[in-house]
Homo-oligomer: A and B are copies of this chain.
Amino acid sequence: MTDQPPKANNTPPARLHLGAAYYPEHWPAERWPEDVRLMQEAGFTVVRMAEFAWSTLEPTASEFNFDWLDRAITMFADAGMVSVLGTPTAAPPAWLIQQHPDILPFDEKGRQVQFGNRTHFCVNSLEFHAAVQRIVTAMGEHFGPNRHVIGWQVDNEYSRVCYCDRCQRRFQEYLQEKFESLDALNERWSTRYWSQTYTDWAQIPLPIGLHNPGLRLAFKQFVTESYRRYQKLQLDALRPHLPPGVWVTHNFMNWFDAFDHYALTEDLDLASWDWYVGTGHLDYLAAGAAHDLVRGFKQKNFWLIETQPNHVNWRPVNNTLNKGEGRVMAWHAVAHGAEAVLYWQWRSALGGQEQYHGTLIDPSGQPRPFYSEVQRLGREFAKVSHLLAGATTDARVAILNDYNSRWSIQAQPHHQDFDYVAHLVHYYKPLAALNIPVDIISADVQDLSRYRLVFAPALMLINQRRAEVLTEYVEYGGRLVLTARTGMKDDDNALWPMRQPGLLAELAGVEVEEYFALDEPVPVKGNWFEGYSHQWAELLNLTDKLGAAIAHYGPANGWLDDQLAITVRSHKSGLVYYVGTYLDEAAQYALLERFTQTVKLSRPRITAPQGVEIRTLVNPDKTEIWLAINHQRTGKIVESPWPVLEHLSGKTFEGKFKLAPYGVAVLTRPD
C-alpha cells in the first residue's frame, strides 16, 4: 500500500514507440550509461525491464531490493525514455522452489518439471499464489506511482499446462461448479459410452492423450479459468497502486492454443504480443493474420512488445532476416495496429539459455549490424509519430475465431492435415493479398453490423446465442460465409442430433448429408473457378428454394460425384454461403475475390503489384494515411490516382513512383 496520491499521468503515449527489453541486473552500473547512449542514438522511446528479475528483486523471501531498478528507470527517464515493467513471476527463484517444492508443475507424461528454466510453476498452487501476491504487491506499491512507468506486463508468455494432483482436484471442483450434478455431466458427456459414468466427482481424471471429447474441451476451459484467476490475482495486487492511464498487459504468443485469449484479454487494458519469424523469412500475408488476431483481442491497437532482432536461438535453424527485412517487419506491424515495437533483447547476458539470440548489441558491447537498421527505424518513427498517433484500421470484413471449435477439431482432426488455424488463414490470405483490411474477432462478438462480409471458418461449436447473432446479421443484410465443419457440435463438444450446420441449417438453406476426409484431391468446378478439394469435402443438399448452387464436385469416390460443394442462400439483401470444400490456393483466391466483388468492398485506390502491401489507416483527425510496404527484394512501382506526400522522404509523388526493395512509404494526400 502506498500513502502517496497517484501522480498525474505522463503525457498521452506518442504513437509509435520504439525500444527493447533491457536487463540492467546483468551488467555493472558503469556500463549502463553507454547502453543509454546507444539507445538514444537508435531513437528509443521506451525500455521494458524486470520480467525475469525476481531473484534480484527479492533475493530471499520478503527482502526486497528495488534500488537498482529505481535508478535504471530514472536514468532512462533522464534520457527521454519511459519504462514498462514486467512482474517477474514466470521465473520463480530457487529459494522459493526449495521452500515449496510442490510449486513445480507436472507435465503430461507425469514428470515433475525441474527448476532451471522458466514457467516452472503450477498455476493453481496456493503457495505460489501467495508468493506472487507478495512480490507483485511490493512492486506495485513501490514502482506503481513512478510516473516514468507507463505500463506493466504481468507474468510472461503464459504457457505451462500442469497435470498435478492438485490441478485434478481443482478441475473436479471446476466441473462441479459448471455442471452442478454428476447426472448432468454424465448426460452432457455421454459417459454411458465405454462405461465412463461417474458416480463421484473424485473419479474424474485429467485428460492425458485420447479422452472423452467433453472432458477434453472442459479441461481446456479449466486451464483458461486457471490462468484467468492467476492473472486476476496479479491485477488486483497491482491496480490499486497505478495512476490513471497506466495500462497492464500480458505478452501473448499469437496462435498459441493452451487457453482462450479472449477470456484473458478481457481483464487487461491492452493486448500485446511477441512476434518471431524463427526459421525462414516473413510471410506477410500469414503474419498479417497474426497481428490482426491480436488487434482483435481487445478490438483496438496493440503493442508488439517483443520482436526479433534479426535472428532467434530456439529453432532448429536460426537463420537471419535479410538486410532490410527487419525494418519491413516493424512497419508491417505498425500498418496492422502496433503502437510500439520493442526488440527482444538489447544485449545478451553472458550466460543463460539464450546466448545465441539476436540482439542489437553484441557480447563485446558494440552494435551488431542490425543496429543500423533500427537506427533508421528510430529516425523514421520520430518523423511520422504525430501523423500515426491513434491511427486505426477500418475493416469491413471479419473472420470469426473460436477457441472451442479449434480445440474440438484439433483433438479430433479426422484428417491429420486439417488444422483449424491454417484453414482460417486460408480465408484470410486472399483478402490480404487484395489489400482488403480484415478484423479477426471472437465468434462470441454480439454485434457484427459494421461488417459487410463475415467468415465463420470451421465454426464447429454452435449454440443458440451464436445462431441468433449470425441470423440477425444476415437479416440486416450481412453476407455470411460458413465453411466446412461448421455447426456440428454443441458447447460441451457433443454432436448436435442434427445434420450440419445444425442450428444454422435453416439460415444457410443447406444440410451436410455426409463429410469426407480425403485421401486424394477431388475436383471441384464452380461458377468462377475450377480446382480441387483437399483434405475435406462435404456433400451438400439444398433444403429450400432460395438456395442455389455455386460449385459441384467432379468424379471422385462415387459418393461425391456431381454433388454440391458450395451453395448460397439469399435473405432479402443478406446472403449465406456454405463452402463444403477445402479448395486449393488458386481456386480459393478466385472464390474470395468474387465474394469481395459482390459486396463492393473498397480497396485502396493506391495500387501496386503483388507482394506490395497497401494498408489504409485513419487517424483521429480522420486523415487517411496509406502505408505502402514492398515485401520483395526488387523495386516495385506504386501508382496513385492523385498526388501524394511521402512522409519518410518528405517528397511528393504523382502517378507512378518506385518503392525500393524492402521499401516503405507513408503517404497522405496533401491538404
A384 close to chain B: CB less than 8 A: no
Question: A498-518, CB under 8 A of B: which get 1 and which 0?
Answer: 110000000000000110111
A94 near B200 with CB under 8 A, answer: yes
A355 near B495 with CB under 8 A, answer: yes
A97 close to chain B: CB less than 8 A: yes
A143 close to chain B: CB less than 8 A: no
Question: A130-156, CB under 8 A of B: which get 1 and which 0?
Answer: 000000000000000000000000000
A352 near B195 with CB under 8 A, answer: no
User: How near does chain B come to A209, taking the closest CB pair, in angstroms?
Assistant: 8
Binds B, one of A230-238, A408-416, A624-632: A408-416
**Interface size classification for chain A:** 35 or more
A279 close to chain B: CB less than 8 A: yes
B322 near A188 with CB under 8 A, answer: no
A351 near B198 with CB under 8 A, answer: no
B115 near A59 with CB under 8 A, answer: no
A196 close to chain B: CB less than 8 A: yes
Q: Please measure, in the bound complex, the distance between the C-alpha atom of A280 and the C-alpha atom of B353, giving whole angstroms.
A: 38
User: How near does chain B come to A590, taking the closest CB pair, in angstroms?
Assistant: 26
Closest Cβ neighbor of A187 among chain B residues: B351
User: How near does chain B come to A360, taking the closest CB pair, in angstroms?
Assistant: 12
A221 close to chain B: CB less than 8 A: no
Contacts of A496 in B (CB 8 A): 350, 363
User: How near does chain B come to A554, taking the closest CB pair, in angstroms?
Assistant: 15
A190 near B26 with CB under 8 A, answer: yes
Binds B, one of A36-44, A47-55, A612-620: A47-55
B351 near A191 with CB under 8 A, answer: yes
Closest Cβ neighbor of A93 among chain B residues: B195
B369 near A514 with CB under 8 A, answer: yes
B319 near A516 with CB under 8 A, answer: yes
Q: Please measure, in the bound complex, the distance between the C-alpha atom of A143 and the C-alpha atom of B198, giving whole angstroms.
A: 26
Partner of A213, one of B323, B353, B497: B353
Partner of A110, one of B111, B209, B213, B497: B111
Q: Please measure, in the bound complex, the distance between the C-alpha atom of A197 and the C-alpha atom of B356, giving whole angstroms.
A: 21
**A116-B212, A516-B319 known; A195 and B353 CB under 8 Å?**
no
Q: Please measure, in the bound complex, the distance between the C-alpha atom of A201 and the C-alpha atom of B551, giving whole angstroms.
A: 70
A181 close to chain B: CB less than 8 A: no
A348, A362, A414 pick with most chain B CB within 10 angstroms? A414
User: How near does chain B come to A480, taking the closest CB pair, in angstroms?
Assistant: 22
A364 close to chain B: CB less than 8 A: yes
**A60-B199, A117-B211, A498-B364 known; A559 and B320 CB under 8 Å?**
yes
A203 close to chain B: CB less than 8 A: yes
Binds B, one of A10-18, A310-318, A394-402: A310-318
A55 near B195 with CB under 8 A, answer: yes
A368 close to chain B: CB less than 8 A: yes
Residues of A that sit less than 8 Å from B by CB: 23, 25-26, 52-56, 59-60, 88, 91-95, 97-98, 109-111, 114-118, 188-200, 202-203, 205-215, 279-280, 311, 313, 316-324, 348-356, 362-366, 368-369, 412, 414-417, 488, 492-499, 513-514, 516-520, 539, 557-559
The 5 closest A-B pairs by CB, nearest first: A323-B558, A190-B351, A193-B352, A319-B519, A55-B195
